[in-house]
Amino acid sequence: MAKPNIINRQVLIDAAKLCLVEKGIEKFTLKAVAEEAGVTQGTVYYHFRTKEQLLLDLVKDICDHSWNDIAQQQNHENIVKYALESAKNRSSDEAFFHQLFFTLTVASFQNEKIREQLAEVLQAENKALFQHLSKIWRQSPIEGVSLETWGVFFNALIDGLAIQNLISKNVQIETFFEELEQLFIGLTKLSANKK
């Protein structure tokens, strides 16, 4: 196997993002990533053994950047608005994040390693949601529903909306996210009113 050029994984991940935007997932290859990064195909294989591994690392990178950006928000109301805007952007039919995520989800049905790694991504997202909810809500707005469950619920809700938006062009994504924000505001008021 070829020794890597002096290039780090992040440069290759960034090149992979550009490839996905320019070529789409159907024409996405490790060779195309190598060309975009200006390195040999062996360099890409050195860092990522398979196309699926590169795609998984790409999903992790997008999630990590999104959660890091959200964590920078100081005002709790801004966190909610920023998180919903980020989720809406990742759910649009032009965004490749959910296309990529769902493609890997399907691949995980036949590949245990991909399944385990996607499970780690989901657990990290659920944990991040729980941590943010814990800062905003003193306690769950509904008795018997834990903040951990709310985190999983919101994560699944966003992913479910993304599926609908990718499949059906009739989804009113702007309206949905506006109403989701109102739902969150209502739940926050319920949480604040609980003693």
Task: Choose among 7, 52, 53, 14: nearest CA to 33.
Answer: 14
Query: Which amino acid makes up residue 174?
Result: E
Does pTM surpass 0.85?
Answer: no
Write the CATH number of the domain with boundaries 1-49: 1.10.10.60
What residues does each domain of the chain span?
1-49, 51-193
Residue 3 has pLDDT above 90, yes or no: no
Residue 2 has pLDDT above 60, yes or no: no
% of the chain residues with pLDDT over 70: 92
Q: CATH 1.10.10.10: does it fit domain 51-193?
A: no
Confidence band of 78 (pLDDT split at 50, 70, 90): low
Residue 47 has pLDDT above 60, yes or no: yes
Q: How many CB atoms lie within 10 A of CB 124?
A: 14
Distance CA 51, CA 54 (A): 5
Distance CA 11, CA 17 (A): 10
pLDDT tens figures, 108-158: 888 888 888 889 888 988 998 898 888 888 899 999 999 999 999 998 998
